[in-house]
Structure 1
Amino acid sequence: MENITNYIQQNKDRFINELIELLKIPSVSADSAYSQDVIDTSEAVKRSLEKAGCDKVEICETDGYPIVYAEKIIDPNLPTVLVYGHYDVQPPDPMELWTSPPFEPVIKKTAIHPEGAIFARGACDDKGQMYMHIKAFEYMIQSKTLPCNVKFMIEGEEEVGSVNLKSFVENNAAKLKNDVILISDTGMISNQQPSITTGLRGLSYVEVEVTGPNRDLHSGLYGGAVANPINILSKMIASLHDENNRITIPGFYDKVEELSLKERAEMAKAPFDIEEYKKALDLNEVYGEEGYVTNERNAIRPTLDVNGIWGGYTGQGAKTVIPSKAFAKISMRLVPNQDWEEITQLFTTHFTAIAPAAVTVKVTPHHGGQGYVTPINSIGYQAANKAYTETFGIPAIPVRSGGSIPIVSLFEKELKSKTILMGFGLDSDAIHSPNEHFGIFNYLKGIETIPLFYKYFVELSK
């Protein structure tokens, strides 16, 4: 599309500067200290959608942070694309590992991004990828090439489990009616090889609390006589995997579908250099469930990981105490067919059962969601593949992601439509980590590719 490439070149600096301004707002939904910033970001997104050309833009209040809804209906008889994204971001911690302040965006060149990348929290997940859609829409409005109706639903609580999105979708199904849902909150294999995410893992996230004595105790006077909750919790966590790194919770694998050798062979076609993978992470060796290679372990197999553990004294110097309590946050990534609520209950039952009588255990579920698979013969997938092929010069490879976007299965259930995951980020973009970034090439390539998806989706829908 010559017109879109010209439009991007003419507006490149503006596109980048607008994103940088959005990234300066610290919209951390997990920390109430940033609550006004999250609200300010919703207003900024609203203004961007209005300026881009939406006829109707609303700030929809929820019990938490607002959802920004917008639409451009050119003909009710034409197909409708619903774009989903989120404007909230992960906490920036640990701050000391950032090479530049997380909310003071800077552009730096890297080996993977020689044209430069924007370093900031939310650059890739998801402000940068969400904003691509607004700029692609702007182009279609300005060039009068928008071929169908468009709706936007941009939320502010994705990073805390989309806790209010379910009720919003249920209560607004008619307003959100669409023919396909388009999301860019995933990645692709490389800047030379695009890919379309056809599968997502589900998620169950819990917090556990182990309690021993009713107060912290002197370790000299009580050590060896009462249970130490940190010691107990550590043993309990260690028991959740066996010697082959399989999860030991009874019933955990009952609904896990084993991929056929043919399907595993198809997955193996995706470029993957294990030595580069280890080098990028400063690893001597990879680790995981026996019988599976790395890009199977992190995409098609369920996992259980401790995301944080704490208790007792962690300040400077020494304080010889037996803590009263110990805590851990645990996430379980699930594969399609595993029900996250069922897995949460299995975990709770098992974790409570393995606790010794000397302590009490409390398991608090936080959030979760189902896994998802989209068929590669769907109109949406074919349209996305044609769009990628035109802009990258090579067909996209279907891949399964180890990540979770719990709302995707919610959309299919409530809105009766399939979701297409057109991601433009890279695994090396450090989402959820210090020094998150998003390549300028990727950002602009997304703006170039998205209008083609609209074009081909309408053509294939006839």
Structure 2
Amino acid sequence: MTLTPVLARLDDGLDDALARLMALLRIPSISTDPAYKGDCDAAADWLVQDLESIGFDASKRATPGHPMVVAHGGEGGPHLLFYGHYDVQPVDPLELWDADPFAPAIEDTPKGKVIRGRGTSDDKGQLMTFVEAMRAWVAEHGALPCRITIFLEGEEESGSPSLVPFMKENAEELKADFAMICDTTMFDGKVPAITTQLRGLLAEELVLTGPSRDLHSGMYGGLARNPISVLAKILADLHDENGRITLDGFYDGVPELPDEIRAQWQALAFDHARFLGDVGLSVPAGEVDRTPLEKLWSRPTAEVNGIWGGYTGAGFKTVLPSKASAKISFRLVGEQDPEAIHAAFVRHVEDRLPDDVTAEFPNGHGAGASRMPTDDPAFEAARQALSDEWGMEAAFIGSGGSIPIAGHFQQVLGMNSMLIGFGRDDDQIHSPNEKYDLESFHKGMRSWARILAALAR
């Protein structure tokens, strides 16, 4: 089966592909709001019917929440699983939208044509790039290029409560050679990329208690222990003067960046001055001996996300507080163990507690990082396919955030993922006036067709 006629069919059928995407976008499948349960069901039904029209054996699967869509097609070659989600974020505040969020339209902008509406980029537009590539393969050759399973979720935007149980119950059916995940972006809005490193996350809450009640600082100040002062010292001690994190054993399992990946990242010419300048900053923080992209993608972090205690209202109230609290997040990489780091954080706090102050650690939870084997020839084949489509060298990149599904595929199904998406940083996902570039949709379809041809070989 040759690729060239498939690409030509995608070009010729762009208007029809857009019409199908618009139909899916009109369904307000907001998963977090029970009022839209029927719409989530309708979106799942729409996808089942569309996949069946291509020739997939597709079905809607019930869960305690919104349904999953599972479809199987093709035979021979590698077995690939494609994951996406059909649910979307709420549209509030509605008054900030320029048009009805569920009346999608093509708009001209100074940067080119965009598809405007809720779900265009996250994740219906991205999801349909893959489906349209499959449609073109079948229309042109009467068959898919290899064995493909499609797995679409309806609760990604509401925490995925049904996802892991469903995966465990259906592990044998879902397991494949690789997973393909479309819920990502290109680098700097223009460089095609495969995300191969995702940081994990450990979230901690710390509550320190000193006196039994808030005290008058004139009567007790200078004699009674102030838990806010204790908390400030504990948090300040999380980093040394060079930006390294001081928890015992924190860097156990943190790998060094392979030379070939470091060279790719350097070639991206990341403008950290512009990146920081966009948010009113100018000087990079963090480990002084690491490059900006290393700090963002491949190094672990410890950040204080919130801190409170005492009186914070209008005016002034001279109290010495009974309690002081903070929320701290650790972004993890490599083989860092969230449980071991939690234990190290507890020791860090307890070693610095003076008399008359106690510590509690409510609501802590974490998950490890995900790292994909870029030395596997399939990854290089996919990267070259992206390079061919976009006319520039694609890159293996990292992500400072966490995409839990990639970790679930590794831990539950024992398979690695290629995270390939065509979103851009200005797509305004989760915000009013979300959009997806028409170029991203068109070249996204062509990119998947090329990737599948490369992997099927």
TM-score scaled by structure 1?
Answer: 0.81
Q: Determine whether 1:211 maps to 2:209.
A: yes
Among 277, 286, 292, the residue aligned to 2:284? 286
Structure 2 runs not aligned, ≥5 long: 1-6
- Structure 1 residues 132 and 321, CA gap change in structure 2 (3 angstroms): farther
Q: Is the 8 A contact 1:42 1:68 kept in 2?
A: no
Task: Give the corresponding residue for 1:56.
Answer: 58
| CA drift at 1:83 | 1.6
Q: Is the 8 A contact 2:59 2:69 kept in 1?
A: yes
| CA drift at 1:84 | 1.9
Bigger mean CA offset, 294-303 vs 172-181:
172-181
Q: Is the 8 A contact 1:189 1:271 kept in 2?
A: no
Amino acid at match of 1:72: H
- Structure 1 residues 10 and 46, CA gap change in structure 2 (3 angstroms): closer
Amino acid at match of 1:302: P
% same residue: 37
Q: Is the 8 A contact 1:119 1:437 kept in 2?
A: yes
In structure 2, the residue corresponding to 1:446 is in which secondary structure? helix
Q: Determine whether 1:176 maps to 2:189.
A: no
- Structure 1 residues 193 and 26, CA gap change in structure 2 (3 angstroms): same
Q: Is the 8 A contact 2:29 2:88 kept in 1?
A: no
Among 3, 21, 27, the residue aligned to 1:15? 21
Amino acid at match of 1:133: F
Bigger mean CA offset, 274-283 vs 158-167:
158-167
Amino acid at match of 2:41: E
Q: Return the alpha-carbon distance in structure 2 between the equivalents of residues 206 and 125 of structure 1.
A: 28
Task: Give the corresponding residue for 2:127.
Answer: 130
| CA drift at 1:262 | 5.8
Task: Give the corresponding residue for 2:328.
Answer: 330
Q: Determine whether 1:84 maps to 2:83.
A: yes
Amino acid at match of 1:7: G
Q: Return the alpha-carbon distance in structure 2 between the equivalents of residues 103 and 307 of structure 1.
A: 34
| CA drift at 1:4 | 0.8
Q: Is the 8 A contact 1:86 1:130 kept in 2?
A: yes
In structure 2, the residue corresponding to 1:304 is in which secondary structure? strand
Q: Return the alpha-carbon distance in structure 1 between the equivalents of residues 362 and 404 of structure 2.
A: 19
| CA drift at 1:351 | 2.8
- Structure 1 residues 214 and 181, CA gap change in structure 2 (3 angstroms): same
Task: Give the corresponding residue for 1:68.
Answer: 68
Amino acid at match of 1:272: F
Structure 1 runs not aligned, ≥5 long: 29-33
In structure 2, the residue corresponding to 1:403 is in which secondary structure? coil
| CA drift at 1:167 | 3.5
CA radius of gyration, larger in: 2
In structure 2, the residue corresponding to 1:249 is in which secondary structure? coil
Amino acid at match of 1:394: M
Q: Is the 8 A contact 1:42 1:59 kept in 2?
A: no
Q: Determine whether 1:240 maps to 2:238.
A: yes
Amino acid at match of 1:284: S
In structure 1, the residue corresponding to 2:171 is in which secondary structure? coil
In structure 2, the residue corresponding to 1:296 is in which secondary structure? helix
Bigger mean CA offset, 253-262 vs 2-11:
253-262
Q: Is the 8 A contact 2:247 2:344 kept in 1?
A: yes
Task: Give the corresponding residue for 1:394.
Answer: 392
Spell out, residue by residue over 1:153-199, the C-alpha distance to the aligned partner (whole angstroms, 9 max, x if none).
33455567655533432332111121220001222224542111122
| CA drift at 1:420 | 0.9
Bigger mean CA offset, 4-13 vs 218-227:
218-227
Spell out, residue by residue over 1:15-34, the C-alpha distance to the aligned partner (whole angstroms, 9 max, x if none).
24633x35x55434xxxxx3
